[in-house]
Structure 1
Amino acid sequence: MESKYPEDHPRTILPDLCRKFYSLGWMYGTGGALSVRTGDKIYITPSGVQKELVQGEDLFVQTSDGTDIDLPPAEKKLKKSTCTPLITVVYRLNEGCNAVYHVHNTAAVMVSMLWPGTEFRITHQKMIQCIKKGNSDKHFDYYDTMVVPIIENKSTEDEIAESMTAAMLDYPETSAILIRRHGMYVWGPSWQKVKCMAESFDYLFNVAVQMKQCGLDPEKIPVAPEGAYT
């Protein structure tokens, strides 16, 4: 779908990403929300719209403190995303964050159920190196154990804001949060980097689920077999 906005404008980028993530099965129905910040403007996809049909004019625009700047055409009768309170919290707590995505990918939901505690942990996977360590300029290393906090789901998104805030403060190196039986939030310095990390998290979650199915422990440090090239 051709956009009437410049290709690097959030009103072009976000609808394109919606279609991409819909094709991956991450944003079925009207679920999920994507956002990009430019300066003091945060562009957020609307609620109740099938994500593969989102258009540039459908976006809500607000300041970092939640003040509305620009709204979709009134005749469309669109509503703010129910994810807006959580998206606003992520921007507020993460310096240098310029994109926040919330998706309902199956792998994230499965991981949140297979790891019954408050953390998902995985180590010695190459794709870990794509994940940024919180607000720092560093990335996880292959030998690191990457930890993603898991919080409990509630009926509405605004009910999750307090526990999500606590998790971000308790895990300053995380760039994502899993919501049990719901999905994940991912954030970072640019829409491109967050896209890369969202895809990498999904890959790692899928690997971890399959490792569990095969009786392997994603948290266990592997030992090279005798005679292996090391």
Structure 2
Amino acid sequence: MAPITLPGYGDIEPLSPAAEALVKSEDPEHPANLIPELCREFYKLGWVTGTGGGISMRQGPLVYLAPSGVQKERILPEHMFVLPFAQSSVPKPGSKRDFVRVPSKKGLSESQCTPLFWNAFTQRDAQSCIHTHSQHAVMLTLLLGKGAKSFRISHQEMIKGVRLGGVGKTLAYFNTLEVPIIENTAREEDLTESMAEAMTTYPDAAAILVRRHGVYVWGPTWESAKTQAECLDYLFEIAVKMLLAGMPLEGDN
């Protein structure tokens, strides 16, 4: 692989000492340290079981990406893929990505979520994107039915933890939260176009639900993305319970 030129870093060759230095830091909030820690927490929540799900973070000109092919609760900093945010071509299904650093451990692969993470980075200027296989998200899309194009709920306290578009001001208790729903595909990366279209159609959406699959959530910081993922999962869970109880999701009932 050819060297990559990065502002502030110079030319970096994948698998070189300079590339390895990108995942070595004593800072607990460095992406290479944070991603494994968060994946362990998400595993405990049942969000990333069976190697599914993931998280990506931007740091300056770099994007740190949790790998596929490894148990998410066992990810280490040296398992990280590092990519330049300024790719030679916009990531899409089947496209070739530019890498600054690839892990030396055999069996690891770049996540198929990569082009979907880029949707959040480019369309919302997000700095972090989280993908979970939460059962609450999956069950909600099933209860709403195949014809449902979005999930709407109002008059719930946890709505206040969600931001307009995922990156703007926080919603209020009386606001109606709406999250679009897209149909699942056989391969994760084939969701790229429908996710991008839903983000355009619903500019205030802070997440995208994928029927029978899970959810993508993003934010202007990793803390915000995590907070919104937690608040949304709470809302998905309570919505499932309300629907099963025959209660409407909107209005002060």
In the alignment, which residue of structure 2 is the partner of 1:51? Answer: 72
The alpha-carbon deviation at position 22 of structure 1 amounts to 0.2
Partner amino acid for 1:62? Answer: L
Query: Which of 59, 75, 84 matches 2:114?
Result: 84
In the alignment, which residue of structure 2 is the partner of 1:190? Answer: 221
Partners of 2:167 and 2:206 within 8 A in 1: no
Give the RMSD, CA atoms, in angstroms: 1.4
Would you say how many aligned residue pairs link Structure 1 and Structure 2? 218
Instruction: State percent identity of aligned pairs.
Output: 43
In the alignment, which residue of structure 2 is the partner of 1:210? Answer: 241
Mapped to 2, the partners of 1:42 and 1:170 lie a distance apart of: 26
Structure 1 runs (4+) greater than 4 angstroms displaced:
none
**TM-score, with normalisation over the residues of structure 1?**
0.91
- The gaps in structure 2 that reach 5 residues or longer are 1-23, 88-96
Check if 1:100 corresponds to 2:133: no
In the alignment, which residue of structure 2 is the partner of 1:123? Answer: 154
1:119-162 Cα shifts (integer Å, max 9, x gaps):
00000000000001016531111111100000000000121111
Check if 1:134 corresponds to 2:155: no
Partners of 2:136 and 2:236 within 8 A in 1: yes
Partner amino acid for 2:131? Answer: H
The alpha-carbon deviation at position 8 of structure 1 amounts to 1.2
In the alignment, which residue of structure 1 is the partner of 2:4? Answer: none
Mapped to 2, the partners of 1:142 and 1:129 lie a distance apart of: 6
**TM-score, with normalisation over the residues of structure 2?**
0.83
Query: Which of 178, 184, 203 matches 1:147?
Result: 178
Partners of 2:166 and 2:218 within 8 A in 1: no
Check if 1:201 corresponds to 2:201: no
The 1:4/1:92 distance shift into structure 2, 3 A limit, reads: closer
Check if 1:168 corresponds to 2:189: no
Mapped to 2, the partners of 1:182 and 1:70 lie a distance apart of: 29
The alpha-carbon deviation at position 85 of structure 1 amounts to 1.5
Describe the SS at the equivalent of 2:185: coil
The alpha-carbon deviation at position 200 of structure 1 amounts to 0.4
Mapped to 1, the partners of 2:83 and 2:171 lie a distance apart of: 32
